[in-house]
Amino acid sequence: METLSRRALNRATLERQLLLRRVKMSAYDAVEHLAGLQAQAPFPPYYALWARLSGFRPPELASLLENRRVVRIALMRGTVHLVTAADALAWRPVVQPLYDRDLKTNTQHAGEVAELDHDLAAKAARELLARSPLSSTALGTELAQRWPDVAPASLTHLARAKLPLVQTPPRAIWGKAGQTTYACLDEWVGAPLSPPAPASLIARYLRAFGPASVADVQAWAGITRLGEVAASMELRRYRDPDGRELIDLPELSIPDEDIPAPPRLLGPFDQMILSYADRTRVISDEYRKRVISQNGLVKGTLLVGGQVRGFWELKSARKAAVVELAPFEKLPKRDLAALESAAGRLAGWAEPAAETREVRVHAPE
């Protein structure tokens, strides 16, 4: 069994995440290829596509949301992702055990809904949402009229767990503001959910993130027992430098580990640094603690030589846009110059109406 170096794994990840070079691809095809985009906050998916696609403009993704070809929905790991409507219909049934488990273990809501008939409450929520999308507060308030002894927030939590709820526009439409409002996925896109197919989910993960261990797949999906599924699939197998078995699709190849990895600015919550149990192929454990806060916020990052080497922040006020680069270590002059140039382009892309734009580089701490 072939052993892959960390550098080889890094280059394979960058290639499949469209980060070795900007590609000419539609936003829809990119969302599908990347197995969805992290979307805990409204706008990180736009930055994810900016980092990967040649000529990407926010209206392209906004149009897909408005036309219901892509949706924002809680999926893997219980977090909101932006995925194609087809993938949402296929994947929500696969990860449903995660949400069923949460209803029994959630410290804030499990006790509140323990005595309820969950299916009956979910049916009531579906009937309400069939009339029109509702905010979390409005949905909980409506359900509390039927179950007045249960906290409205807990009733909304139950509905989110039992039903495939999408967040509807104008939430996450570039340049617009909107509170979170929900609709049922199948009614929103006009198609039924698919039977659970975990093997298909594993294959899609590997196409976007492989080669990877079963533990990596499970960390991304948020569900267990995928090793049994992977064992039944026709997969190529490798080992990593620590001797762990890695799986991959047999038709996919590994790029030359000596291929250059250009400097990149990755957006906040970028999925490349969140989708592995062992993330050291792209970020050291030390730097991970500086990028991901204790409450789960993930900064935009500086990618140099294929590894995270710092973070960036965009600040805008009074028609001025400033991108601040904060490297964790001294970077080669050529790479730092490339990052500064990219930061200038980012400021122009994200804040086109700004009258002044500036890039500031902080000394490593």
* Domain membership flag for residue 266: no
298 and 156 together in one domain: no
Each residue's pLDDT tens digit, 225-273: 999 999 999 999 999 999 999 999 999 999 999 999 999 999 999 999 9
Each residue's pLDDT tens digit, 31-77: 999 999 999 999 999 999 999 999 999 999 999 999 999 999 999 99
Report the alpha-carbon angle 212-217-97, nearest 5: 170
Rounded distance between C-alpha atoms, residue 170 and residue 62, angstroms: 9
Rg (the chain; Cα; Å):
21
Using the 3D structure, point to which of 189, 220, 249 is the last residue of a domain.
Answer: 189
Could you tell me whether strands 70-74 and 80-84 are parallel, antiparallel, or unpaired per DSSP bridges?
A: antiparallel
* Domain membership flag for residue 169: yes
Q: Cα 309 to the chain's mean position, in Å?
A: 21
220 versus 318: the higher-pLDDT residue is 220
CB contact set of 6 (below 8 Å; sequence gap of 6+) = 240, 241, 280, 281
170 and 287 together in one domain: no
176 and 60 together in one domain: yes
What pLDDT is stored for residue 178 in this prediction? 86
Using the 3D structure, point to which of 169, 189, 209 is the last residue of a domain.
Answer: 189
Q: Cα 108 to the chain's mean position, in Å?
A: 25
Rounded distance between C-alpha atoms, residue 129 and residue 167, angstroms: 12
To the nearest whole percent, how much of the chain has pLDDT over 70? 100
Question: What is the domain-level CATH number for residue 341?
Answer: 3.30.300
Q: How many structural domains are present in the chain? A: 2
- pLDDT at residue 221 greater than cutoff 90: yes
61 and 185 together in one domain: yes
* Domain membership flag for residue 17: yes
21 and 161 together in one domain: yes
* Domain membership flag for residue 53: yes
Each residue's pLDDT tens digit, 96-111: 999 999 999 999 999 9
Rounded distance between C-alpha atoms, residue 91 and residue 62, angstroms: 22
Question: Distances from the Cα of 274 to the Cαs of 170, 193, 215, 283, 292, in angstroms?
Answer: 26, 26, 13, 10, 10
Across 84-88, average pLDDT = 98
* Domain membership flag for residue 223: no
140 and 13 together in one domain: yes
39 and 147 together in one domain: yes
- Per the listing, tokens 């924002």 go with 72
What pLDDT is stored for residue 232 in this prediction? 97
- Per the listing, tokens 């294959």 go with 203
* Domain membership flag for residue 197: no
* Domain membership flag for residue 145: yes
Return the bridge partners of 37, or none. Answer: 82
164 and 18 together in one domain: yes
Question: Distances from the Cα of 310 to the Cαs of 259, 286, 345, in angstroms?
Answer: 22, 11, 18
What pLDDT is stored for residue 365 in this prediction? 83
Using the 3D structure, point to which of 161, 189, 217 is the last residue of a domain.
Answer: 189
Is 20 within 8 Å of 255 (Cβ atoms)?
yes
- pLDDT at residue 177 greater than cutoff 90: no
* Domain membership flag for residue 214: no
Angle between helices 333-350 and 44-52 (to 10 degrees): 130
Q: Print the domain residue range for 288.
A: 283-361
> What are the percentages of helix, strand and coil residues in the chain, rounded to 5?
45, 20, 40
